[in-house]
Amino acid sequence: MEVEVKFRYRDGVEEKLREIAELIIEKFEHDFYFNHPCRDFKKTDEAVRIRRDVEGVTITYKGPKVDSETKSREEVKVKVDSFENAAELLKKLGFKPVEEVKKTRKIYRVGDAIVCVDEVEGVGRFVEIEIESESIKDKEKLFEIAELLGYSRDESITQSYLEMILQEK
Amino acid sequence: MEVEVKFRYRDGVEEKLREIAELIIEKFEHDFYFNHPCRDFKKTDEAVRIRRDVEGVTITYKGPKVDSETKSREEVKVKVDSFENAAELLKKLGFKPVEEVKKTRKIYRVGDAIVCVDEVEGVGRFVEIEIESESIKDKEKLFEIAELLGYSRDESITQSYLEMILQEK
């Protein structure tokens, strides 16, 4: 499971982050979201996307959020050799292209957690703090990191970038 | 498109084949077929499978057969990094595991065509002759190779291994 909290970016956050974290990579991520042939992912709170970035191409399934306070959800990822073939495969299976999300992402590591500073086209800058874990209780670790960056837990945003972009439209 | 003809194996075929073809590889292929969450692939004549062999793991979509005389159909393939994650991804999307097909396959090359000598668990030995092409007319090339191996075109089998195995049950 991907246990994850998200906050709107505030001035000075990245300076605080640099004091406690190590920058791993800065990259451009191009995501293509699809809807299911016979389930409405908007209603079931699921998602499928193909991501293309400098590290390659992945197909990711995201399950419904399991927690009201965070963006935590099950994720299944598979790395693939071709964006075009992956998109064609999904289309042949009846999946419908919904929306693209483009962002520049700086990834920092803090212990076994990851902090992403994202600049998302059309919706702005955000900070995501995440950890791979079997237990939703690990969100507490994430709120501790968030506090070091100046965020209180009631500032946590549960909306995904996809939902934000669709809402903007 | 995968233009393909298939015949039941007969004694002596592989000897004839060795005179005109080059052996590329012999491998064990383990295929897992899935049905669609809301289409019945048996009725639509489509298929999705994950194949694991010595060369890696692929997800393949096969469209309906486009020709009454051959097994020709559209194919979309994507190479993936993990069998387990690919299977999990399909299951999460509502695809239902149907059947496994296990075979030992010897792959020969004849010009730009491929000839496979298959020993399929539960259904026997077969010869498949195939070529990647945009045109179904290329089946004539395949029937020419078949003739060199002693097959007439009315011996062509259009049933897939999956269909044979499901029929056996």
Tens digit of each residue's pLDDT (9 = 90 or more) over B15-72: 999 999 999 999 999 999 999 999 999 999 999 999 999 999 999 999 999 999 999 9
We find that the CATH architecture of domain B2-168 is: Beta Barrel (2.40)
Model confidence over A72-129: pLDDT tens digits?
999 999 999 999 999 999 999 999 999 999 999 999 999 999 999 999 999 999 999 9
Size of interface A-B (CB pairs under 8 A): 61
CA-based nearest distance B22→chain A, Å: 28
Tokens (6 digits) for B7: 């015949």
Whether the predicted pLDDT of B168 surpasses 90: no
ipTM value > 0.90: yes
Burial of A38 by CB count in 10 Å (0-12 exposed, 13-18 middle, 19+ buried)? exposed
Strand-pair partners of A26:
A106
Contact residues, chain B, for A88 at CB < 8 Å = 76
CB contact under 8 A, B61 and A89: yes
Model confidence over A8-63: pLDDT tens digits?
999 999 999 999 999 999 999 999 999 999 999 999 999 999 999 999 999 999 99
CB contact under 8 A, B63 and A36: no
Phi-psi region of A50 (alpha: psi -120 to 50; beta: other; left: phi over 0): beta
The half-sphere exposure of B60 on its side-chain side, counting CA atoms within 13 A, is: 19
Average pLDDT over residues A121-144: 95
Per cent of chain B over pLDDT 90 is: 98
Contact A45, A65 (CB under 8 A): yes
Per cent of chain B over pLDDT 70 is: 100
Model confidence over B93-111: pLDDT tens digits?
999 999 999 999 999 999 9
How many whole angstroms separate alpha carbon A78 and alpha carbon A55?
Answer: 13
Average pLDDT over residues A143-160: 96
How many whole angstroms separate alpha carbon A16 and alpha carbon A84?
Answer: 40
The reported pLDDT for the residue numbered A168 is 86
How many of the other CB atoms lie within 10 Å of CB of A35?
Answer: 18
Contact B145, B113 (CB under 8 A): yes
CB contact under 8 A, A89 and B81: no
How many of the other CB atoms lie within 10 Å of CB of B122?
Answer: 13
The reported pLDDT for the residue numbered A87 is 98
pTM score of the predicted model: 0.92
Q: Which residue of A33, A48, A62, A76 is the best one to mutate when testing the B interface, meaning the one whose CB has the most B CBs within 10 A?
A: A76
Q: Which residue of B60, B88, B93, B96 is the best one to mutate when testing the A interface, meaning the one whose CB has the most A CBs within 10 A?
A: B93
Q: How far is CA B156 from CA B19, B107, B127, in A?
A: 22, 19, 10
For chain A, say whether B24 makes contact (Cβ under 8 Å). Answer: no
- State the first-to-last Cα distance of chain B, in angstroms, to the nearest integer: 30
